[in-house]
Structure 1
Amino acid sequence: MTPASAGIFTRLSRLTEQPQATVLVRCTGPVSAEDVTAAQLLDGCLRTADALRSTGVRRGDKAVVMTRDAYRLVAAVYALTSLGAVPVLIEPRAEVRRCLDEIAPGVFIGEPLAHVARRALGWGRGHVRTALVTGRDFPGRGRLLGRSLPLAVPDGSGPGPHVPEPRAEDLAMIAFTSGSTGQPKGVEYRYTTLAGQLGALDAVLRPEAGDVLLSCFLPFAALGPLLGLTTVAPQVDHLAPARTPPGHLVGPLLRHRADIVLGSPAILGLIAGHCARHGLTLPSVRRVLSFGAPLRPRLVELLASALPPGAEILSVYGATECLPATAIDADELRALRVQPPPDHSGTCLGRPLPGVGACVLDADATGLGEIAVAGPVVSPAYHARPDATGAAKSLTDGTLWHRTGDLGRLDDEGRLWYLGRTAHLVTGDGFTLTTEDVEAAADIASGVRRTALVGVGPAGRQRAVLCVEPERGARRDAVLDALRASLGGHHHGRRIGTVLFHPRFPTDIRHNSKIDRARLAEYASGGRR
């Protein structure tokens, strides 16, 4: 086993021990896929590094990588880091131009569509000096978009890269936050940060020799091989994950007999729903990891019905700046929903992972405050954003703490409880409501797919509106009756001034799981009951 504290190149070098073992599976649909062996991946990294070096990419260069292909992403990221360059990961969105102006990347690596957007929308204009296009060539591509960087899977006959482990504090990568609760920010990962995250992931994944991981979040495909896992990357619609055809997820899962499944609640809901509709089970799966949004009981029940006895479902908490931080098993989560500790509400996030610390800052008389996380998983800064770094990072007795922007409490067992975002507090005349306190109770009502509490009006005089996304075919009067029953005994139930139905909540683009409350509040301000 690789030591938990091992860095990325130490872990990468371990792949040479089994050169013909499959380390990555790139899927192009429900059935078709290409296996990539350790020898092929290492050979590809070296060839890609040579190609990048020939174009002038050097140590310290910041390089945007924008591709939906798992192998091309992994090869480009590994090759860039082997050169000492800094990969920059960001989703295509309206704010890309502002984000790239902020970090000033000199290199842009991406598929043709990404370069079309770069040219049309001015991404990196004035900064990008080297434009490299992945994928198949076509006439005029070099003149229109940039130089070719095919990134084809090699035969594996060449050597792999031999790179000494860099200094722990060197900048390794910049990954942008999703922007679902504010402007996207570039999070700096040092090599020590990546080593800490890999160690924490070892603890939560608990991989065994020969394990197969179905990774439904593309950036994680770059970490799976470093964890010793055969990583299957299904063809997810990365611009709208919830619109992914479920067969593109379940097909590869069954075909490659995945032991571990990792995905957001939206993706896991597609898998569970497909299995329920088609009478399928997932006999090989022994562990499911949910991340990106709270895990609700109805999804747990649907997943459990497709899993074998004894399979574990975990809800993992963290953020781009500190991932992973805590985890909780669905069985414990279910028991705590039925009988929470005294004076605790919302959703339990579980205990901090080994080496990770959690505390609640600026707590009020009830223990409610802002969740902060410390440990090797915590990024040290936002790139080129000293104001944001100063607001979110604090050093106490030599320990760096990251303020998450989430509200929570710690119970007597050392478990962290989530109450919602600080920015989403609903404040009215004589009351303050946290979103998760109300929604965790409302979401269990029959006929409800999910709910969202928003405030309408100026802070301090807001009207509390509960937006409801009903299940397909649910009758509104029946849903309202179920909500009254669920919230009737809730200590803040009487504060809900309006219940407003919405056909489909707007969500974040990364996971399609975090609710866009700003847009919902705008809808509620002029909506109908």
Structure 2
Amino acid sequence: MTTTAADIAGRLAERPDAVALVESRKGTSRTTRRGELVRHCRHIAQGLRDAGVRPGHKAVVMTRDAHDLTAVSYALVLLGAVPVLIEPRAEVGRCLQDITPDVFIGEPLAHLGRRALGWGRPHVRIPLVTGSAPLPMGRRLVTRAAADGTSHPHARESDGDGPALIAFTSGSTGRPKGAQYRHSTLAGQLDALTTLMDPRPDDVLLAGFLPVALLGPLLGLATVAPAVNHLAPARTSPEEVAGPIREHRATIVLASPAVLTLIARHCARHGVTLPSVRQILSFGAPLRIGLADALREAVPDDAEILSVYGATECLPVSAIGDHDLRASRTAPPAGHSGTCLGRPMPGIRARILDADATGLGEIAVTGPTVSPAYHARPDADATTKSDTDHGVLHRTGDLGRLDDEGRLWFLGRKAHLVTGTGFTLTTEDIEAVADTAPGIRRTALVGVGTAVCQLPVLCVEPLPSTPRASALEAVRAVLKDHPDGHRVGAVLIRTAFPTDPRHNSKIDRMRLAGWAAKRLRGRIR
């Protein structure tokens, strides 16, 4: 099955008077209905065609405006062009070297960056500016159109299962890469999300991550895009996220642990609850029990809280509810440790490659949600992609196991293994236990020193109310009960961990290890 341009147009045309998108900012909101969104997309498609955009063109779309990101991306697909989504903060120049885009569409700030830093030079031939453009940075693209009766382009007939979208990875675990989605990939993601969410006609989705606004309307959901600080999600004002949930009676919340932490803290601090919420989907990093407990206090007893596992190249892969997550922590199967990720989604096959005697190896997946290739990165394809009878097999770079019930267990990134003298530690094995210490927000195990004889160092981020001495005592107490806890050579307090720019949830272990090395200078071989 594929999702072609005609399929997208058809999905949007359903229930034209229903809400498609709500942009919420500082107590105000702007609503776009599904019929309006279709009209805007067709108007934009005409503007793109007039500007010289043609089928097959690669078009970078860089804007923080949820409506413009959604409508412009849909319009490009209607024309047969390929939208390209890149983080506006990390290695944009190198990403554009990989893409060699024909078109650059963005808000004025993005064009300032393009001009000042030479993004896309010399490939970009068609610069188009969304929003107000006080400086002459390119032709202005009108993204909201009034009903004028003008005939605009309809969906272009698809030439089979061709390229539909290129989405760059965040670069939190290496150089960003452009994951190519075909129309069938998008269809697989929509089907998997439909299975996860079981959307209902009156559901309202709060999209805590901007690109989710692209999928919400295609799922038939009224989608609320809050004013998340997309350059630093964890610095968002909590009211900007929790307020729209209450105001628009959101039933589904999809966000990273950093954004969900803002919501949970806001509810606890102000004594408010979120009675409309029936489901929370956490993605971007493992959901910790402490955060799940805090969210439980804010939502109805029968609400579902899911930790969703996946990556830009394969999302979603699996999911587990918070009740099962707690049970897996208190009574894990024999020989298993780390964090349970649940069973793979229907149609997804998970394998463990290069497994050792304990079954620990690299998680690899096949299925309809898997991106078949990276754009212009044959080196990355060679190390992560292979053809099988079940489709492209993607190596995730994550370590894990499969238990007898078919559940995946996550043990951390392959690149983050800590190798000491005669032993190896996986990050998640230690951290999942250390994070349960009272007064602790999260921990991170890093290796300091020369590979193969590293010193395992556990960095600890306590809750603001926890004294440093109490945090150290609590962590050391839980490590005593872990079979490898004695191998941790040092425990260091750091008030705030460096994190990935996209979700502010994945820990930047390279920076953290450098910091730990400076703190422990003299103890490292």
TM range (shorter): over 0.9
Per-residue deviation at 1:159?
Answer: 6.8
1:493/1:247 Cα in 2 relative to 1: closer, same or farther (>3 Å)?
same
Between the aligned partners of 1:41 and 1:449, the Cα distance in structure 2 is 41
1:103/1:480 Cα in 2 relative to 1: closer, same or farther (>3 Å)?
same
CA RMSD of aligned residues (A): 1.5
Between the aligned partners of 1:190 and 1:14, the Cα distance in structure 2 is 18
Between the aligned partners of 1:427 and 1:475, the Cα distance in structure 2 is 31
**In structure 2, which of residues 354, 357, 366 is the aligned counterpart of residue 365 of structure 1?**
357
Paired residue type of 2:47: A
Per-residue deviation at 1:15?
Answer: 3.1
Per-residue deviation at 1:339?
Answer: 0.7
Residue aligned with 1:202, SS: helix
Per-residue deviation at 1:396?
Answer: 2.4
> Contact 2:127–2:138 at 8 Å: present in 1 too?
yes
Between the aligned partners of 2:420 and 2:160, the Cα distance in structure 1 is 48
Stretch deviating more after TM superposition (384-393 or 153-162) = 153-162
Query: Which residue number corresponds to residue 475 of structure 2?
Result: 483
1:156/1:283 Cα in 2 relative to 1: closer, same or farther (>3 Å)?
farther
Matched, 1:306 2:303: no
Gaps of at least 5 residues in structure 2 are none
> Contact 1:39–1:156 at 8 Å: present in 2 too?
no
Mapping for residues 254-293 of structure 1, pairs under 5 Å: 254-293=246-285
> Contact 1:5–1:199 at 8 Å: present in 2 too?
no
Mapping for residues 346-425 of structure 1, pairs under 5 Å: 346-397=338-389, 399-425=391-417
Per-residue deviation at 1:205?
Answer: 1.2
1:157/1:498 Cα in 2 relative to 1: closer, same or farther (>3 Å)?
farther
Query: Which residue number corresponds to residue 20 of structure 1?
Result: 17
**In structure 1, which of residues 497, 502, 505 is the aligned counterpart of residue 497 of structure 2?**
505
Between the aligned partners of 1:226 and 1:157, the Cα distance in structure 2 is 25
Deviations 1:207-242, CA, capped at 9 Å, x for gaps: 111210000110010100000100000011000000
Between the aligned partners of 1:94 and 1:316, the Cα distance in structure 2 is 25
Query: Which residue number corresponds to residue 443 of structure 1?
Result: 435
Stretch deviating more after TM superposition (394-403 or 81-90) = 394-403
Matched, 1:80 2:83: no
Gaps of at least 5 residues in structure 1 are none
Instruction: Name the count of aligned residue pairs.
Output: 521
Query: Which residue number corresponds to residue 185 of structure 1?
Result: 177
Query: Which residue number corresponds to residue 470 of structure 1?
Result: 462
Query: Which residue number corresponds to residue 212 of structure 1?
Result: 204
Matched, 1:130 2:126: yes
Query: Which residue number corresponds to residue 108 of structure 2?
Result: 112
> Contact 2:281–2:307 at 8 Å: present in 1 too?
yes
1:317/1:35 Cα in 2 relative to 1: closer, same or farther (>3 Å)?
same
Residue aligned with 1:379, SS: coil
Between the aligned partners of 2:153 and 2:223, the Cα distance in structure 1 is 20
Paired residue type of 2:302: G
Matched, 1:223 2:215: yes
Paired residue type of 2:7: T
> Contact 1:168–1:190 at 8 Å: present in 2 too?
no
Paired residue type of 1:265: P
Deviations 1:330-354, CA, capped at 9 Å, x for gaps: 1000111011111110000000011
Stretch deviating more after TM superposition (419-428 or 154-163) = 154-163
1:470/1:464 Cα in 2 relative to 1: closer, same or farther (>3 Å)?
same
Paired residue type of 1:146: G
Per-residue deviation at 1:74?
Answer: 0.6
Query: Which residue number corresponds to residue 41 of structure 1?
Result: 37
Paired residue type of 1:525: A
Per-residue deviation at 1:150?
Answer: 2.8
Between the aligned partners of 1:8 and 1:205, the Cα distance in structure 2 is 24
> Contact 2:85–2:166 at 8 Å: present in 1 too?
yes
1:192/1:522 Cα in 2 relative to 1: closer, same or farther (>3 Å)?
same
Could you list the structure 1 runs, at least 4 aligned residues long, displaced by more than 6 angstroms after superposition: 156-160
TM (norm. structure 1) is: 0.96
Query: Which residue number corresponds to residue 56 of structure 1?
Result: 52
Mapping for residues 446-461 of structure 1, pairs under 5 Å: 446-461=438-453
Between the aligned partners of 2:179 and 2:18, the Cα distance in structure 1 is 33
Between the aligned partners of 2:152 and 2:330, the Cα distance in structure 1 is 53
Paired residue type of 2:340: C
Residue aligned with 1:277, SS: helix
Query: Which residue number corresponds to residue 89 of structure 1?
Result: 85
> Contact 2:96–2:120 at 8 Å: present in 1 too?
yes
1:322/1:237 Cα in 2 relative to 1: closer, same or farther (>3 Å)?
same
> Contact 2:444–2:459 at 8 Å: present in 1 too?
yes
Paired residue type of 1:324: P
> Contact 1:323–1:378 at 8 Å: present in 2 too?
yes
Between the aligned partners of 1:167 and 1:491, the Cα distance in structure 2 is 57
Per-residue deviation at 1:11?
Answer: 4.5
TM (norm. structure 2) is: 0.97
Query: Which residue number corresponds to residue 338 of structure 1?
Result: 330
Stretch deviating more after TM superposition (370-379 or 157-166) = 157-166
Paired residue type of 2:328: L
Deviations 1:58-87, CA, capped at 9 Å, x for gaps: 001000000000100011000001111010
Per-residue deviation at 1:473?
Answer: 2.7
1:399/1:424 Cα in 2 relative to 1: closer, same or farther (>3 Å)?
same
> Contact 2:256–2:284 at 8 Å: present in 1 too?
yes
1:165/1:327 Cα in 2 relative to 1: closer, same or farther (>3 Å)?
farther
Per-residue deviation at 1:398?
Answer: 5.1
Stretch deviating more after TM superposition (164-173 or 408-417) = 164-173
Per-residue deviation at 1:286?
Answer: 0.3
Per-residue deviation at 1:10?
Answer: 1.9
> Contact 2:5–2:155 at 8 Å: present in 1 too?
no
Between the aligned partners of 2:14 and 2:130, the Cα distance in structure 1 is 30
Per-residue deviation at 1:102?
Answer: 1.4
Residue aligned with 1:213, SS: strand
Paired residue type of 2:491: V
Between the aligned partners of 1:163 and 1:382, the Cα distance in structure 2 is 26
Stretch deviating more after TM superposition (407-416 or 4-13) = 4-13
Paired residue type of 1:76: V
Query: Which residue number corresponds to residue 10 of structure 1?
Result: 7
> Contact 2:161–2:182 at 8 Å: present in 1 too?
yes
Stretch deviating more after TM superposition (152-161 or 308-317) = 152-161
Per-residue deviation at 1:478?
Answer: 1.4
